[in-house]
Amino acid sequence: PDSGSPRSVCQALGDYFRAGVSLSSWEVRDTLVTMTTALLQAHGDCHALLDFMAQAQIFDFIARSQSDRNSFVCSSALLALPVISRSGASLAVFLRSTPSYAISGKAGLVADVLSVLHAETDEFRRRSAAKVLCAWQEQSDMQRCVVPLRLATANATATATA
């Protein structure tokens, strides 16, 4: 197959994970998230590609990268979320194949992004979380989850300060 095809790029990503390539370098982790995001932007509705990403645990890697110790990696993982959620198919596979969201679903995903916005002290991460929420406001499917959780968070904050 063509070395630039989505399948070959995804295969290369999967090979990184299976080969146990050291992910100790933030540059490697950030590159993997960025490459995956670009691939999803171009081919987010391709079911074979989504299934492969789930099997190679690429979606789980993105979910775990949201709490990466490096701000760049965390930001890239957060900014991947609107790309993933843009397609109903990719969002469903992401939620189903990621242990942290298999039960909590979209509401858990939104709650995690809101917690970054409210609790994180790193400005870079907070700005990325804000960008995700703004992008989700334009996606009707995600918007239904964002508004109630944001109101609940605001009410809890108001009650705690009263």
| Residues 6+ away with beta carbon under 8 Å from 83 | 37, 40, 41, 44
**Count of beta carbons in the 10 Å neighbourhood of residue 67:** 16
pTM of the model: 0.81
Closest by CA to 82, choosing from 73, 69, 91, is 91
CA distance 150 to 81: 17
The tens place of each residue's pLDDT in the chain, 162 residues long, gives 465 666 676 677 667 666 655 678 899 889 889 988 998 898 888 888 888 888 888 899 999 999 999 999 999 999 999 999 988 889 999 999 999 898 999 889 989 999 998 899 999 999 999 999 889 888 877 776 766 555 555 554 555 455
